[in-house]
Amino acid sequence: MELPDIVVPVREGALNEQLRYALRSWTAHLPHRHVWIVGFRPWWAAGARHIPTHQRTSPAYVNTTTAMRAACEHPEVSDPFLWANDDFFVMRPQPTPFPVFHRGPVREVFGQYGARSSAYVAAMRETHAFLVGLGYEEPTSFELHVPLPVRKEGMLRALEVGKGHDVHKRTVYGVLNGVTGTQMRDVKIARRSPQFDTASPFLSTMPDSFHNGAVGRHIRGAFPESCPYEVRRRR
């Protein structure tokens, strides 16, 4: 069985140390063929393959949709591929093929956000209503901060049918294509608190929790060595 590529959208920015440690974690624990950075590639990540894209300043999901479409339409990217973010860290060795994980019914995910109101939660509700309107009475959420196996034809169909719901394109893709998998809790650690599951096979951070929190120290300590995707600047 041919190993899948990992595709990661990266926005324009500085050094992106989260990406550096994500690459190290994938090298160590996530079997794959190539890593494709779509969008902006930091100079030090020249060991990864690159698909440049035009990026908008906001909203961010427009750039990730552009990146997803570019990956699906690129003939050299594997089919399927693993879709990941630059703050997804794989902390334990993973099997091949990589399994699918989901977050459970979308209506139950609403409850995890309580009364909080945000553009993200509003988009989730709109996507839920959209999928129910298509006849999926109990759509499943795939909005987890872990890699997702993606088949190109199915994702391109989801992007076309679900225009306007691409904030939650993982969910639209999973539901429209009848994807199933294992339910899990999300692994995003947004705060500096030392309270997190150090045994978790997956972790994800925010910039502040990565740079200043206990979870960031844990991740950096787990992967101190550089990986083949990193290069040193010539003097």
Domains of the chain, residue spans: 6-222
List the beta bridge partners of residue 50.
Answer: 37
State the pLDDT at residue 13: 83
The average pLDDT across 62-79 equals 97
| 202: its two tokens | 């997956």
Q: Judge whether residue 234 has pLDDT over 60.
A: no
Q: Judge whether residue 115 has pLDDT over 80.
A: no
Give me the helices (H) in the chain, please: 17-29, 60-73, 106-113, 119-133, 152-161, 169-176, 207-212, 214-222
Radius of gyration over alpha carbons of the chain, in Å? 17
Which residues neighbour 122 within 8 Å (Cβ) at sequence distance 6 or greater? none
CATH match of 6-222 with 3.40.50: no
Helix axes 17-29, 214-222, angle to 10 degrees: 50
Share of the chain above pLDDT 90, in %: 84
State the pLDDT at residue 176: 98
